[in-house]
Chain A
Amino acid sequence: MRLPDILRFARDAATGYPVRTALSVLAMSIGVAAVVLLTALGDGARRYVVGQFSSLGTNLVIVLPGRSGTGGFNPANAITSTPRDLTIDDAGSLRRLPGVRRVAPLAVGTSEIAFGGRLREIMVAGSTAEFIPIRNFELAQGKALPEEDWNRGSPVAIVGAKIRDELFPNQPALGQLIRVGDRRLRVIGVLASTGQGLGMNTDELVIVPVALAQAMFNSNTLFRILIEANSREAIPGVKDATLETLKQRHRGEEDVTVITQDAVLATFDKLLGALTLAVAGIAAISLAVAGILVMNVMLVAVTQRTGEIGLLKALGASGENIRLLFLSEAAMLSAVGAALGYVFGQLGAFVLRQVFPVFPAYPPDWAVFAALATAVGTGLLFGVMPARRAARLDPVQALMRH
């Protein structure tokens, strides 16, 4: 029997029993849709977190004041007291290290901003011209902080998008004189809106020269030093050199912590990757169940069509012919189910992305491939037994049942 004829015969046989065909196709499609959708969720979560971390900047090395116990990333560091301050000069000393592209010192605090009678609480980030490129921020208008001596601190500010909207609803922000704390500053730039992320929310941020921020908050210390390495490969070298340089500057005491974005990222990536895999595994169970359903449907089909099998044998069909016919039918049920499930799954993921635009719910390719392969595989596997049973039927017995 020729392959197109086998397929056509199997297709007609399947469509000849719409209810049981629809049922097994549905079961298979639910299984595949579950895998596609759940892995889209899992991988979406992974991408979201990884994306948030990446949005902090690329090839980032971060210096925190204080020494962490393990030398690794420890959120507790953020609130421990600092034995020795990180200074603007510390940051400056890192600028010429090999493999370093940019350095930005960062001092932060909260303050009030006032303009034209309007007043609001804001977050102030004191830094330098390179802060914006390091953090991958974008300017909507105006220009970056001036390239000047880091210890100078011109009275200028860059404001976040939301602050601009609230303080200057119907006039240009650039060039306006605002009051931040007890300083009068000129607005030289406006940040592009970024929304809520893992890092700071730039929409309610005011960026000023680092020396100015320190003066405003009456402190000499830095919150962080941000370093951008030339490349991913340069990160370990930059980390070691930074640690060494700061140790020398701090009289041989290793009182800072240097973390790389890479290490944190890799941990989250692995963790959420494993989660996706687990979710895929659970969803795959429904595929196995669907496979068993296909088997039962095919067993029923063999019983229902016993007379037909006898007839085919009388007309010259070999056992191999009969086996192929029933196997193709099982494969067809699961393949159509898989295709439908794929469409449903992608549709579900699409809806998810529409409802939660920040959440990149795309099913990973491996999961889609595995789901489709498993669906067709189980369909074939569970189709073998009914097909063999059909092929072994005694033609006379089968004909008598017609």
Chain B
Amino acid sequence: MALIELEGIDRSFQLGDTTVHALAGLDLRIAAGEYVAVMGPSGSGKSTLLNLLGLLDRPQSGTYRLEGRDVTTLSPDEQARVRSARIGFVFQSFHLVPRLTAAENIALPMTLAGILPAERERRVAQALRDFGLEHRADHRPDQLSGGQRQRVAIARATIMQPPLILADEPTGNLDRHTGEEVIHLLEALNANGVTLVVVTHDAALGARARRQLVMEDGRLKQDSTVP
């Protein structure tokens, strides 16, 4: 059974009196444990696809089955529960809460899910070690470098141990070297069985993925798997 099944997905935006088809009749299956890079020119619908996979957005038509369950018809609160337990997000601009420390930012999904403080502390301590942030636990985002911020964001995305990580240009705001570090971290997660979908327009980074999707005008132009 595929982890993700998209069938005939349409998502269009009304801009004045023109309709932009961000996603048009998209079919896609992603199996559990895959490492997928989504590439394509700006405006081709990559972010729209990722938001849809992350249940942040709904298609106008088509079905989305996540782990075999049709999630497009779920209520907003049910979708929130799915996001909480099954999906981790990593964003280009990190999206850390500026007034919270690194540790608090990492703990945020658990706090929102109502996990008890003792368990939160245990998992955050482990995550800080895993991502080399032991000495940054009490730093606020503005006291961290870009690479550290993205590491905090990745730690946060994985803290609920979701089977699916969605990353939208995670290295877009980082220099080459730091970007590679971040990609290595994400790949290490994938190596442990987490399904990884990364949007990037860096061909070199995209080439590292086993499967590459190239989008154009809301459609899949190419879907190639490295053997």
- Number of chain B interface residues as a range: 20 to 34
A-B contact pairs, 16 of them (CB 8 A): A1-B114, A2-B111, A5-B111, A5-B114, A9-B111, A16-B99, A312-B112, A313-B83, A315-B156, A316-B81, A316-B83, A316-B84, A316-B113, A321-B80, A396-B57, A399-B56
Proximity bits, A1-14, B CB within 8 Å = 1, else 0: 11001000100110
Tell me if A215 is interfacial: C-beta within 8 Å of chain B: no
B106 to chain A minimum Cβ distance, whole angstroms, is: 11
Per the 8 Å Cβ criterion, residues 41-92 of B in contact with A are 51, 54, 56-57, 76-77, 80-81, 83-85, 89, 91
Known: A318-B80, A318-B81. A399 touches B91 (CB 8 A): yes
Instruction: Establish whether residues A316 and B112, one from each chain, have CB atoms under 8 Å apart when the complex forms.
Output: yes
Instruction: Establish whether residues A399 and B95, one from each chain, have CB atoms under 8 Å apart when the complex forms.
Output: yes
Q: Which 7 A-B pairs have the closest CB atoms?
A: A316-B84, A318-B80, A16-B99, A395-B56, A315-B109, A316-B83, A318-B77
Tell me if B203 is interfacial: C-beta within 8 Å of chain A: no
A residues sitting closer than 8 Å to B (CB atoms) are 1-2, 5, 9, 12-13, 16, 307-308, 311-321, 395-396, 399, 402
Cα separation A55 to B144 with both chains bound (whole Å): 73
Q: Which of A2, A16, A315, A395 is B108 in contact with, Cβ under 8 Å? A: A315
Q: Whose C-beta in chain B lies nearest to the C-beta of A315?
A: B109
Known: A9-B111, A396-B51, A399-B91. A313 touches B80 (CB 8 A): yes
Instruction: Establish whether residues A402 and B93, one from each chain, have CB atoms under 8 Å apart when the complex forms.
Output: yes
Tell me if B2 is interfacial: C-beta within 8 Å of chain A: no
Cα separation A390 to B77 with both chains bound (whole Å): 15
A41 to chain B minimum Cβ distance, whole angstroms, is: 42
Instruction: Establish whether residues B51 and A321, one from each chain, have CB atoms under 8 Å apart when the complex forms.
Output: no
Cα separation A157 to B89 with both chains bound (whole Å): 97
Complex contacts, B111 vs chain A, CB 8 Å: 1-2, 5, 9
Tell me if B3 is interfacial: C-beta within 8 Å of chain A: no
Cα separation A317 to B114 with both chains bound (whole Å): 10
Complex contacts, B81 vs chain A, CB 8 Å: 316, 318
Complex contacts, A1 vs chain B, CB 8 Å: 111-114
Complex contacts, B108 vs chain A, CB 8 Å: 312, 315
Tell me if B37 is interfacial: C-beta within 8 Å of chain A: no
B167 to chain A minimum Cβ distance, whole angstroms, is: 12
Cα separation A312 to B84 with both chains bound (whole Å): 10
Cα separation A402 to B98 with both chains bound (whole Å): 11
Q: Whose C-beta in chain B lies nearest to the C-beta of A395?
A: B56
Tell me if B97 is interfacial: C-beta within 8 Å of chain A: yes
Cα separation A2 to B85 with both chains bound (whole Å): 17
A301 to chain B minimum Cβ distance, whole angstroms, is: 13
Known: A399-B91, A402-B95. A314 touches B77 (CB 8 A): no
Q: Whose C-beta in chain B lies nearest to the C-beta of A4?
A: B117
B51 to chain A minimum Cβ distance, whole angstroms, is: 5
Cα separation A319 to B84 with both chains bound (whole Å): 13
B54 to chain A minimum Cβ distance, whole angstroms, is: 7
B185 to chain A minimum Cβ distance, whole angstroms, is: 19
Tell me if B186 is interfacial: C-beta within 8 Å of chain A: no
Instruction: Establish whether residues B57 and A311, one from each chain, have CB atoms under 8 Å apart when the complex forms.
Output: no
Complex contacts, B54 vs chain A, CB 8 Å: 314
